[in-house]
A and B are shown apart, each in its own frame.
Chain A
Amino acid sequence: MPRWIDVCALEEIEPEGTRRFDHEGRTFVIVRGPGEEVFCLDGLCTHEKVHLAGGLVIDGVIECPKHAAQFDCRTGEVLMGPACVDLRTWPARVEGGRVLVEV
């Protein structure tokens, strides 16, 4: 049964920053937009399973650090190869200064 899980304080993630979040054997990446918006996506690149938390976030797009595949932070859609499978996305929100995800 999915439920909202507390990840960290919003201020622990800088604007356009990322954070790796491991939960019950799965790994996710939390992305913060330029403001207070947050997104939660599968944490491993669909190309060669690299942690996306090391990636660069610009204009709502996260880039894999290994071969530069680009994913839309909001939808998880692949925008540029070499990956060809979209990332799964999960509900995320900020409440009382805390980042919550439902995974």
Chain B
Amino acid sequence: MTRYVIVGAGEAGTRAAAALRDAGEGEVLLLSEEPVPPYERPPLSKPDDEHGFRKPVAVDLAGIELRLSTRVVAVDRAEGRLETEAGERIAYDRLLLATGARPRRLAVAGASRALVLRTLADAEAIDARVRAGARATIVGAGLIGLELACTLRRRGLEVAVVELAPRALGRAVPAELAERLVARHERQGVRFLFGTEIAAIEPAGVRLADGNLLAAEIVVAAIGVEPETALAATAGLPCANGILVDSTLRTADPSIWAAGDCAAIDHPRYGRVRFENWRMACDQGAFAGRVMRGEGGTFAALPWFWSDQWDLSLQIVGLCDPARCAVHRSLGADGLVRFELDGTGRLEAAAALGPAALIGREIRLAERLIERAVACPSDLLADPGADLRRLLRG
């Protein structure tokens, strides 16, 4: 009987485990260093009405042996064996590394005073300090920073966001959408300091490079993540901003695969690339589960992600590039879609900000238009009255 072992029970690890279990052959062992059963990360920064920020993962784990508080510290590839922090040895026939990513730390004095947000424990640590009227400073205007700004502001805190770059959200999100989103935050009373360097995290708050102090009881560093590659690297597997895998998600070792935020994959459309989003992690995990049990195929799924802030949904399919030819479509008072075309008029990516009910559909259609390489006339894309399904029906 084949023994499948998965390190990491996040989105990728749990989906892989379910796919392997569904094959009905072999033994599936899922190892997690975290002390709590698998949970969803998106609600950590944007709690929902039903579960708050504690939401169990949407995967049925029946028939899977799950071991919590089990940190794997070494992979002995010659012997096909893992070693845990507690000194236990665990044999595997086929191994999946789904170790995710961890928050990047600030490189300033007092950096350890800043909280981060990746795990349930991190969310609990932030939650424990929340009091109406308290002041929070978030370092980094990326997706997690902005989502947290919204959540803390809603809970009655005074919120400031400090960002070194001149604008929010970096290259992955088109500037015109980022600006609209920031304007929405500002209307809600979130303060932004762009192009602002910080010098230190002090007990009283954030010391800026210009000497000013941003007083805050809560300081959160949200300056991005780094792939968790330590285990793979010490086992001698090639890593470069992620564990390197081929287009079937297999590492240089034929018995070891990697999936999710930790994996730098060879994508038929984008080449070497590493993604950090929910659906990619799920898709890669499920795919890895299937190939590990012997199915063929190349992993070619398109990246798609969402972020929810205030009453706005941000959704992007494909990889945006500010240099590409773009067509805009306005939907209602505050919906905007940016379609990006390649030189032959085919859709490469689409990004949208607005109420989900208006923009979600357009992004779902854009995803299919990209997949099927349909040529899209600009006037149709720009016309809010034109039903893009026409293009799909050909």
Contacts and interface: CB of A to CB of B under 8 A. Distances in A.
A80 B390 CA distance: 25
Contact of B356 (A58, A66, A83): A66
A67 interface: yes
A59 to B, nearest CB: 10
Nearest to B56: A84
Interface stretch (A47-55, A86-94, A95-103): A47-55
Contacts of A50: 356-357
Contacts of B103: none
A68 B357 contact: no
Kindly name the residue among B279, B356, B361 whose own CB sees the greatest number of chain A CB atoms within 10 A. B356
Contact of A51 (B282, B357, B368): B357
Interface string B301-324: 000101010000100000000000
B360 A68 contact: yes
B364 interface: yes
A102 B313 CA distance: 34
Contacts of B359: 65
A65 B356 contact: yes
A68 B58 contact: no
A61 to B, nearest CB: 10
Contacts of B42: 82
B58 A83 contact: yes
Contacts of A68: 279, 304, 306, 360, 364
A40 to B, nearest CB: 19
Contacts of A72: none
A81 B280 CA distance: 12
A81 to B, nearest CB: 5
B197 interface: no
A65 B361 contact: yes
A56 interface: yes
Interface string A10-50: 00000010000000000000000000000000000000111
Nearest to B387: A14
Contacts of B361: 54-56, 63, 65
Contact of B360 (A16, A49, A65, A84): A65
Contact of B357 (A16, A54, A58, A82): A54
A54 B358 contact: yes
B61 to A, nearest CB: 12
A56 B392 CA distance: 13
B154 interface: no
Contacts of B40: 82
A54 B58 contact: no
B355 to A, nearest CB: 8
A50 to B, nearest CB: 6
Contacts of B392: 58
A54 B368 contact: no
B304 A65 contact: no
Contacts of A81: 58, 282
A64 interface: yes
Contacts of B131: none
Given A51-B357, A66-B308, A66-B356, A82 B58 contact: yes
Given A66-B308, A82-B40, A55 B389 contact: no
Interface string B22-48: 000000000000000000101000001
A87 to B, nearest CB: 15
A65 B364 contact: yes
A48 B58 CA distance: 13
Interface in B259-313: 278-279, 282, 304, 306, 308, 313
B215 interface: no
Contacts of B279: 68
A55 B356 CA distance: 9
Contacts of B308: 66
A64 B360 contact: yes
Interface string B102-133: 00000000000000000000000000000000
12 contacts: A51-B357, A56-B361, A58-B389, A63-B360, A63-B364, A65-B356, A65-B359, A66-B308, A67-B306, A68-B279, A68-B306, A82-B42
Given A49-B49, A54-B357, A58-B389, 10 more contacts: A48-B50, A56-B360, A58-B368, A58-B392, A63-B361, A65-B313, A65-B356, A65-B360, A66-B308, A83-B58
Interface of B: 40, 42, 48-50, 58-59, 278-279, 282, 304, 306, 308, 313, 356-361, 364-365, 368, 389, 392
Which 7 residue pairs across A and B have the least CB separation, nearest first? A65-B360, A54-B357, A84-B58, A66-B356, A56-B364, A56-B361, A65-B356
